[in-house]
């Protein structure tokens, strides 16, 4: 009887600690906290790829917002670029949520290259047509995103991540086509 009581206590103790550690967490964070098994190398690579893409989305949203502020005569361009920046922020949130679900820590900052790219864009507007520069730089950003998605997709392990990346790729291809039409019209 004594051994049975000790065995029951031994099982109950870790469960009570697990309940304490997940208090106050979001559902995605709770899932990550409940995963006691260390991430496999493949899963770590998936999280790293998603975080790399997240950084690109952070930079893209900042670039598109900056491009929308470039003075020009095209009244429809500014709202379109601001909407695209808002969309990139929402997609960034989806990537960060996916990283949390996988048990990783999501990226929260962009890349140094993104900051340099925004500075280059600002410099270009001094010597070039503002509308054309804005469209070209955003188009370059979307093509870069597409390249990154295509680079990361084969390295993914989970079907949920592949589905998310496929959706992001379709959205990006649609934006590229739309921006190319705007560029021709400008």
Instruction: Locate the domains of the chain by residue range.
Output: 1-36, 39-185
**pLDDT given at position 134:** 79
What is the pLDDT confidence band of residue 69, given thresholds at 50, 70 and 90?
confident
Task: Report the alpha-carbon distance of residue 77 to residue 110 in Å, rounded.
Answer: 24
Q: Residues near 57 by Cβ (< 8 Å), separated by ≥ 6? A: 88, 89, 91, 92, 95, 145
The widest CA-to-CA distance across the chain, in whole angstroms, is 87
**pLDDT given at position 118:** 44
Name the residue among 122, 57, 121 with its Cα closest to residue 89: 57
> What is the pTM (predicted TM-score) of this model?
0.71
Give 11-56 pLDDT, tens digit per residue. Answer: 444 444 444 444 566 666 565 555 534 678 989 999 999 999 999 9
Q: Mean pLDDT over residues 170-174, rounded?
A: 97
**pLDDT given at position 129:** 55
Instruction: Out of 3.40.250.10, 3.40.630.10, 1.20.1260.10, 3.40.50.300, select the CATH number for domain 39-185.
Output: 1.20.1260.10
Determine contact, residues 67/81, Cβ cutoff 8 Å: yes
**pLDDT given at position 70:** 72
Give 117-168 pLDDT, tens digit per residue. Answer: 444 444 444 445 577 777 888 898 999 999 999 999 998 889 999 999 999 9
Taking the C-alpha atoms of 84, 66, 173 and 107 in order, what is their torsion angle to the nearest 10 degrees? Answer: -90
Give 101-115 pLDDT, tens digit per residue. Answer: 999 999 998 765 544
Name the residue among 167, 116, 112 with its Cα closest to residue 145: 167
């Amino acid at each position: 009887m004594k051994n049975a009581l000790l065995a029951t206590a031994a099982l109950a103790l870790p469960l009570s600690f697990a309940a304490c550690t997940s208090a106050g967490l979001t559902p995605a964070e709770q899932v990550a906290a409940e995963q006691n098994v260390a991430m496999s190398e493949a899963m770590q690579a998936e999280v790293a790829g998603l975080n790399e893409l997240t950084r690109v989305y952070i930079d893209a949203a900042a670039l598109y917002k900056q491009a929308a502020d470039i003075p020009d005569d095209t009244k429809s361009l500014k709202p379109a670029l601001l909407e695209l920046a808002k969309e990139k922020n929402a997609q960034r949130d989806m990537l960060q949520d996916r990283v949390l679900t996988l048990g990783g820590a999501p990226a929260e900052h962009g890349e140094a290259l993104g900051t340099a790219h925004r500075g280059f864009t600002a410099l270009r507007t001094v010597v070039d047509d503002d509308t054309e520069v804005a469209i070209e730089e955003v188009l370059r950003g979307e093509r870069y995103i597409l390249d990154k998605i295509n680079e990361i997709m084969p390295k993914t392990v989970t079907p949920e991540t592949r589905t998310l990346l496929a959706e992001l790729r379709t959205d990006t291809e649609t934006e590229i086509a739309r921006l190319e039409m705007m560029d021709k019209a400008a």
